[in-house]
A = this chain, B = another copy of it.
C-alpha cells in the first residue's frame, strides 16, 4: 500500500466541453495505481461504456443508475427521478460506511440541475464529507451552492467539437 492518510478534497468538473467524466476516470485510474479504494456512482445514464471493462481490471467499483435514454429536462420520467434518488442514497450510504478513499458522483450536477434530486441533500452530503475522502462531482451546469463548497473547480469549455462537423460519437473514444 502506497496509500497515506491525508486531506480529501471536493473536486468539481463542470462546463459545456467534453472531458468531465473522462477527467474523473483518469483521476480514478491514477488513484487506483496507488491502491486507493474507489467507487464511481453514475447518476444519469447507463451505456455500454468501454470503461466498464477497464474499471473492472483496475478494481474500481461502479454503481450504475439512470437509464439508457437521455433525460428530457422539461419532462423527466418517474424512472428518472427514482434512479437519481437511488444514486444519491447510494452515495450517502457509501460515505457513511467510509469504505472508500475516492468517491466519484458522475453527472450529479445535471441531476440537481434537472431537479431530479434536491440541491439541499447534495449540499448536506458535501458538508458531511469525511476528512480523508476525495469527493468528485461531474456534470455541466453545476449549481453555485456546490461550487462554493468545492476546493477545486475545473471548467471545461470547448473551442471546436467534431459533432458540429457531423462526426458521430465513436465507440472506444467517446463511449
> What residues of chain A have their CB less than 8 Å away from a CB belonging to chain B?
2-4, 6-7, 9, 13, 15, 17-19, 21-34, 36, 49-55, 57-58, 101-102, 134, 147, 150-162, 165, 167, 170-173, 175
Contacts and interface: CB of A to CB of B under 8 A. Distances in A.
Given A29-B29, A171-B2, A156 B155 contact: yes
Contact of A172 (B3, B52, B154, B159): B3
Within the oligomer, what is the number of copies of this chain?
2
A6 B173 CA distance: 11
Contacts of A154: 17-19, 156-159
A18 B50 contact: no
Given A6-B170, A23-B156, 7 more contacts: A17-B155, A19-B19, A30-B51, A30-B54, A34-B53, A58-B58, A154-B156
